[in-house]
Amino acid sequence: MNNQATGELNHFFKTYIPPIEDYLRSYMKNIRRYPEVIYDAMEHSLFAGGKRIRPLLCLAGYLLFDNSWKKALPVASAVELIHTYSLIHDDLPAMDDDRLRRGKPTLHCAFNEHTAILAGDAMLNLAFELLSSPDTGKHISPATQVEIIHSISTASGAQGMIRGQVVDITTERESQPVDKEILEFIHHYKTGQLITTSLLNGARLTEKPTEEEYTALKEYARHLGLLFQVVDDLLDVTGTEKEMGKNTHKDSEKMIYPRLIGIEETRKLAQRLKRQAQEALRIFGDKGRILHLLCDFVERRTY
Ligand code: IPE
Ligand code: IPE
Ligand code: MG
Ligand code: MG
Ligand code: MG
């Protein structure tokens, strides 16, 4: 990435991350009541400093078709809530059993296991409270709002993210052999589905995309989602805990890309996925610039 591209991306992050965090903060403040420990727990994980890639993709999807991006903040916040809940549960002793997340102790370590389970449950429900709220529905037809809720719930559930999590954890626990096809399946579902639904529903909120444009966005997101998890696997081997803010060298029990095909091949795969994602953006011309740059960011990220 040259200096200009880095500058554009930093400008994108600086412009859109604070409004996402402000929206989440003020929403959390408004709903806080007895017993406050559950809000303290949710906020411990939510405001620990994630990259906010999914809400940013939601806003980027919106911006492809319409400039009034603030209308997308409730949906962007909802996908970040779902993502954060998935991390809290992913880190539990019964799952990946991790102690560090977003540079802070994982929620079950900072609080306790029952609070971490309940905070995750609460955040998932909070996401759908937000998606079905009048704030989300203000500028769209009821049919579009229901479509968004349906799409995000499908992508997050047993047909989506959970599908990948189940195969990820059962293959590990039962020491089942994992080949390229199964690993791609795991990654496509556990990580790709939420990434895809974040982008598509940002676009859907404008009620403007054509079928051809949805198809292009799905093609883009499929490759970006896989790229994101391939790089996560790579960083598990090559990254540092300090920079990543989470435990690395953790996935020794689990099949990950560097173990399956080696570090060099994993890097090549990441480059190929990045190019495929970027090619899918062709029909958007210059408007696809930020989505194009986000692929560069994801491929080169070190955290
Ligand atoms: C980590 O996601 C879990 C995966 C799906 C790979 P991120 O790398 O987006 O984590 P945060 O949100 O920045 O903490
Ligand atoms: C997490 O995958 C995927 C979900 C939370 C759905 P990982 O287990 O690889 O994520 P990290 O490495 O703990 O962030
Ligand atoms: Mg996991
Ligand atoms: Mg994990
Ligand atoms: Mg990982």
Residues 15-56: tens digit of each pLDDT: 999 999 999 999 999 999 999 999 999 999 999 999 999 999
- pLDDT higher than threshold 90 for residue 149: yes
For residue 268, count other CB atoms closer than 10 A to its CB: 12
Q: Which residue's alpha carbon is at the smallest distance from atom 7 of ligand 2?
A: 90
* Pocket-forming residues, ligand 2, beta carbon under 6 Å: 86-87, 90, 96, 161, 165, 190-191, 232, 246
Q: Would you say 259 and 249 are in contact if contact means Cβ atoms under 8 Å apart?
A: no
pLDDT digits (tens, 9 = 90+) for 187-236: 999 999 999 999 999 999 999 999 999 999 999 999 999 999 999 999 99
Q: Rounded CA gap, 228 and 298, in Å?
A: 6
- pLDDT higher than threshold 90 for residue 250: no
- pLDDT higher than threshold 70 for residue 252: no
Q: Would you say 127 and 81 are in contact if contact means Cβ atoms under 8 Å apart?
A: yes
Question: Which residues contact residue 29 at a Cβ distance below 8 angstroms, ignoring those fewer than 6 apart?
Answer: none
Cα–ligand 3 centroid distance for 152 (angstroms): 20
* Continuous segment of H or E residues that includes residue 227: helix 211-238
- pLDDT higher than threshold 90 for residue 142: yes
192 lines ligand 1 (CB under 6 A): no
What per-residue confidence (pLDDT) applies to 251?
A: 61
Cα–ligand 4 centroid distance for 87 (angstroms): 7
Cα–ligand 1 centroid distance for 261 (angstroms): 22
Cα–ligand 3 centroid distance for 158 (angstroms): 15
**Which ligand 1 atom sits nearest the alpha carbon of residue 51?**
13
Q: Which residue's alpha carbon is at the smallest distance from atom 6 of ligand 2?
A: 190
- pLDDT higher than threshold 90 for residue 1: no
Cα–ligand 2 centroid distance for 232 (angstroms): 8
**Which ligand 1 atom sits nearest the alpha carbon of residue 80?**
12
Counting ligand 2 atoms within 8 A of each CB, the residue from 53, 96, 231 with the most, and so the one to mutate, is 96
Percent of the chain topping pLDDT 90: 97
Q: Would you say 42 and 119 are in contact if contact means Cβ atoms under 8 Å apart?
A: yes
**Which ligand 1 atom sits nearest the alpha carbon of residue 246?**
14
Q: Which residue has 């955040």 as its token pair?
A: 123
- Residue 290's identity, in one-letter code, is I
Question: Which residues contact residue 110 at a Cβ distance below 8 angstroms, ignoring those fewer than 6 apart?
Answer: 44, 104
* Continuous segment of H or E residues that includes residue 86: helix 73-90
